[in-house]
Structure 1
């Protein structure tokens, strides 16, 4: 006779993990994005459905990439860290040589209407290669050459190619994430601080020598003086946010996307959200991104090794810092810079990148929280009376 207490099956309780919170927040942001994108793209040639259909297609591809990233063995994938890095650098170089140029910037590869922005995928390739290098050289991080110079060269190889595409924002984002990971890995501050100061100074000089970027900075410092020229978009974004008030003017009733605010469906979609859905929804979006960041910090504390800690931290930083830049630009807290709002703005390349990043987070949640197997299975004689 089998003992009822011994044969009882333990109940499984639903537990809320940081990774599950991140997934819920991402799903909420995507839902909000699809709704506001329908309205923001309504005046565009082809109608609102053209961009909405395209967004759904890329969303399906992003979910597929996320599923693959969630299923792959990250430790086995480390064997291909250097080939992945080489492929990403080759794609950036190819973009500079034969890429599609739009408004003076050569950032895309593609054919016809299908385009991919290679710098988006270079971000995760850089994070992956840097995390791998820092993990295998963990004991040498106090050495100047192997613990600081080599990883800086790794980051710089991506940054140089991206800035040659005339994408200052992506360069700043990628460089910032790389230096933060280097700091978290344990690089010495006496090496890191001069590098940060020198990089900021060099970046400031490049901005000052670039008339377009310098005009954006001047319009940021004096928005009223430039509201009809370089500061037109930031000024109209503030008008949209102010017009929305607390409750918004109603979905589809906004005026700013009707030729008043350029790029309303991409870089400045947050302003349309504020005008039509009001302060409540704009604060909801900010809270969702803040929750992703806090939940990510709680999640990476459970990382089993330095490689996975840095990789997942890099994913969280790429999502959080890009959202900070976009929200800062739209609210005129930062100088104007074209950068998508993650999960919300129209744009296939960034959505595919976000799918990969979330997939890696889900992957880590699956492997880090996997229960340990029993040492041995109890025999039937041990549970029989």
Structure 2
């Protein structure tokens, strides 16, 4: 079996959903580089810091991300499915290795990274890719057993639970919850009975709530989210500064590079809270455009899903689409005060190498599916 598919090359010659997808990614990535250049003036809390440091670092990662995305868009999906067990196994090993104190890099009390010398690898991002590939292949090759209690629910549920549990131990509650949510929807869309899924989902939510309650730091985030103004000098400081940034920008914005909240006021302005920087400097028009671009990616993907020739392709594209858009939705919900504060990058825009590569791999998978679907006849509905 060939590891490289030829459909992508032919698909690139025709306008359609794929080009709309790439256009959205191009605009979001370009905006990210522009805003990182602006945010770079306050990076490292020093006015003498190189303002192009973040731009150069992100540009280096963008080169890697482009290579990964192009490679993923060209890979033979059937071959990828056959490799899903090996991919999952490697990621599970890495998730275990990152928890070892002498190996995993700890930052702010969380051990989530592996130090590779020139770069740090956040393994939980790789787990997103491995999870959707494995689930898509598992259900795609067992369509007759999807409604079975063990084969359809218990076995894949244990894999989803294992990945979420290992990420939870880092600890990274947000990514664990995101993987659990995407896993739930992929299993539901695969055809797993809802009365199998709902009790486990409720138990997961209950366990997650207890863990948050037992963690003083995360409980302070919840309380500050419920009353931001009362906690603006303490646990709600970051969110309050983000809200001030949106208010200062208004509709037109204060101008590119003219923002003030990022100058020592707004923590993590170049990573999780880059959306408020966009709101302050470029205004409501730019923030609305960002929301519209992510909505377009989701809409284009959902419309194209009807062309999926089999369950494996359908679940693979769906999982990639859910990871990308849900992460964007959570980030924008957090920085606008609609969700409790949780560190999660805004896809294609926030500073962060592993996440940028992961997002391009997800887009590559979606684009690869589009290319394959355009080359295959549509499945005809079964006559009743």
Q: TM-score scaled by structure 2?
A: 0.92
Residue in structure 2 matched with residue 89 of structure 1 by the alignment: 92
Distance 1:364 1:152 in 2: 25
Distance 1:268 1:296 in 2: 27
| Deviations 1:192-225 (CA, angstroms, capped at 9, x unpaired) | 1111111111111111111111110000011111
Q: CA shift at 1:53, angstroms?
A: 0.4
Q: CA shift at 1:15, angstroms?
A: 5.5
Q: Specify which of 72, 80, 91 is matched with residue 83 of structure 2.
A: 80
Distance 1:240 1:251 in 2: 13
Distance 1:113 1:40 in 2: 23
1:55 and 2:63 equivalent?
Answer: no
The alignment partner of 1:301 has SS state of helix
Distance 1:254 1:329 in 2: 20
Q: Specify which of 286, 290, 299 is matched with residue 291 of structure 2.
A: 286
Distance 1:330 1:345 in 2: 13
Contact 2:228-2:236 within 8 A present in 1 as well: yes
Residue in structure 2 matched with residue 231 of structure 1 by the alignment: 236
Distance 1:324 1:41 in 2: 25
The alignment partner of 1:42 has SS state of helix
Q: TM-score scaled by structure 1?
A: 0.91
In the TM superposition, 1:135-154 aligns within 5 A as: 135-154=140-159
Residue in structure 2 matched with residue 364 of structure 1 by the alignment: 369
Contact 1:41-1:257 within 8 A present in 2 as well: no
> Structure 1 residues 43, 113: CA separation in 2 closer, same or farther (over 3 Å shift)?
farther
Q: Specify which of 49, 68, 82 is matched with residue 65 of structure 1.
A: 68
In the TM superposition, 1:41-52 aligns within 5 A as: 41-45=40-44, 46-52=49-55
Distance 2:186 2:376 in 1: 29
The alignment partner of 2:42 has SS state of coil
Residue in structure 2 matched with residue 157 of structure 1 by the alignment: 162
1:107 and 2:112 equivalent?
Answer: yes
Contact 2:140-2:311 within 8 A present in 1 as well: yes
Distance 2:148 2:63 in 1: 45
Q: CA shift at 1:111, angstroms?
A: 3.8
Q: Which deviates more from structure 2 when the two are superposed, residues 14-23 or residues 91-100?
A: 14-23
Q: Specify which of 213, 216, 220 is matched with residue 208 of structure 1.
A: 213
The alignment partner of 2:106 has SS state of strand
Q: CA shift at 1:242, angstroms?
A: 0.3
| Deviations 1:6-60 (CA, angstroms, capped at 9, x unpaired) | xxxxxx9x86422221111111101111111110121114322111001111001
Residue in structure 2 matched with residue 349 of structure 1 by the alignment: 354
The alignment partner of 2:348 has SS state of coil
Could you tell me which runs of 5 or more consecutive residues in structure 2 were left unpaired when the two chains were aligned. Answer: 1-10, 378-384
| Deviations 1:255-294 (CA, angstroms, capped at 9, x unpaired) | 0111000100000000000000000000000000011111
| Deviations 1:42-92 (CA, angstroms, capped at 9, x unpaired) | 111432211100111100100000111011101012221111100000011
In the TM superposition, 1:108-127 aligns within 5 A as: 108-112=113-117, 114-127=119-132
Could you tell me which runs of 5 or more consecutive residues in structure 1 were left unpaired when the two chains were aligned. Answer: 1-11, 373-385
Residue in structure 2 matched with residue 337 of structure 1 by the alignment: 342
Distance 2:142 2:226 in 1: 44
Residue in structure 1 matched with residue 39 of structure 2 by the alignment: 40
Contact 1:265-1:345 within 8 A present in 2 as well: yes
Contact 1:144-1:191 within 8 A present in 2 as well: yes
1:266 and 2:271 equivalent?
Answer: yes
| Deviations 1:97-142 (CA, angstroms, capped at 9, x unpaired) | 1110000000000144520101001111011111111111211111
Distance 1:345 1:328 in 2: 15
Q: Which deviates more from structure 2 when the two are superposed, residues 250-259 or residues 38-47?
A: 38-47
Distance 1:40 1:296 in 2: 32
Residue in structure 1 matched with residue 5 of structure 2 by the alignment: none
> Structure 1 residues 346, 92: CA separation in 2 closer, same or farther (over 3 Å shift)?
same
Distance 2:166 2:14 in 1: 44
Paired positions, count: 360
Distance 2:306 2:115 in 1: 40
Distance 1:62 1:288 in 2: 20
1:248 and 2:238 equivalent?
Answer: no
Q: CA RMSD in A?
A: 1.4
Contact 1:41-1:264 within 8 A present in 2 as well: no
> Structure 1 residues 49, 76: CA separation in 2 closer, same or farther (over 3 Å shift)?
same
| Runs (4+) off by over 3 Å | none
